[in-house]
Amino acid sequence: MCMIRRASRETFPAMGQVAPPCMANRQAVQVSHSREAEIVRQEETFRIEEHTRVRQAIGAHTLKSVNEIPQFHIRTLVDMEPMVAFREELKQTASPAATYNDLSIKAVALVLRDFPRFNAWCEPEHLKLLDAVNVGFAVGTDQGVLLPTVRNADRKSLKEIAAETGEMVELARKGRLRASLQMGAGFTVSNLGPIGIDAFAPIISPPQVAILGIGSIKPQAMVVDGEIIARRAVYLTLVMDHRAVDGADGAQFLAAVADAFTHPERMVGE
């Protein structure tokens, strides 16, 4: 039992000495109670934010994707110097000028012609190969991400794609994008490059087979003609449904997309 004595020189420890066990225990208990009280006060301070209908729909859609689709991804680094130069030329001659996202949509659409299994919907018992090349693209809004669709993207000019995406982005951010404009895509492009993200693996939008994640265009060390030099480049990440395609399929598709990015002049006239 710890006895309490009157304060004296012997009761309180000198500087550098350890306090008697009874005093140390009381101090520890006081500190513990103080911390617990602070934690309780912090936990009691919060506010409720109800999920919007858009947020609920996003949650249900992505949960279905993660729970039902065996997803895997591959990634490659692509030299963007040709694309950067090509876009600079477009800015001088075209209005509206195509964004990098528009160029990506067009490049992917042309490649999808030769890879029908990536322009498809994966159903439980079969793969539905789509005739039209409709490419969805992710748009961030205050309510959450939306996925407008550019229909027949392989047959539209860059100017047409730029005008269409610009209009749909504006509608999406005003909360006026109709559901019909978000349907029918066989493949989706998600671009976080403008936010500065190097690389990421987006979630497949079911029932689609794949989605392409595009990072930020930044200087990277690359080997050109046997020399290591800095080139503006981008990481492309292809996420796929293993029920529909395998790694070799994805490697061939992503290599074709990378080739399209490095030869943007092929988009003209297509």
159 occurs within a structural domain: yes
Separation of alpha carbons 263 and 229, rounded Å: 20
Q: How far are the Cα atoms of 31, 51, 256 from residue 222, in angstroms, in the given order?
A: 57, 45, 19
Separation of alpha carbons 99 and 88, rounded Å: 10
Q: What are phi and psi of 205, to 5 degrees?
A: -95, 100
Higher pLDDT pick, 42 / 50: 50
36 occurs within a structural domain: no
204 occurs within a structural domain: yes
Q: What is the mean pLDDT of the chain?
A: 90
Separation of alpha carbons 257 and 91, rounded Å: 23
18 occurs within a structural domain: no
Q: The domain spanning residue 182 has which CATH number? A: 3.30.559.10
Is 242 designated active site? Answer: yes
The pLDDT, as a whole number, for residue 1 is: 47
Owning domain of residue 155: 70-267
CB 82 within 8 A of CB 263: yes
Q: For residue range 250-270, what is the model confidence (pLDDT) as tens digits?
A: 999 999 999 999 999 999 876
**Of these residues, 33, 114, 198, 246, which one is catalytic?**
246
Q: For residue range 108-152, what is the model confidence (pLDDT) as tens digits?
A: 999 999 999 999 999 999 999 999 999 999 999 998 999 999 999
Separation of alpha carbons 32 and 98, rounded Å: 61
Separation of alpha carbons 108 and 176, rounded Å: 27
CB 144 within 8 A of CB 126: no
Number of domains in the chain: 1
Q: 39: which 2 tokens?
A: 């934690």
85 occurs within a structural domain: yes
Mean pLDDT, residues 42-61: 87
**Of these residues, 242, 249, 259, 263, which one is catalytic?**
242
64 occurs within a structural domain: no
2 occurs within a structural domain: no
6 occurs within a structural domain: no
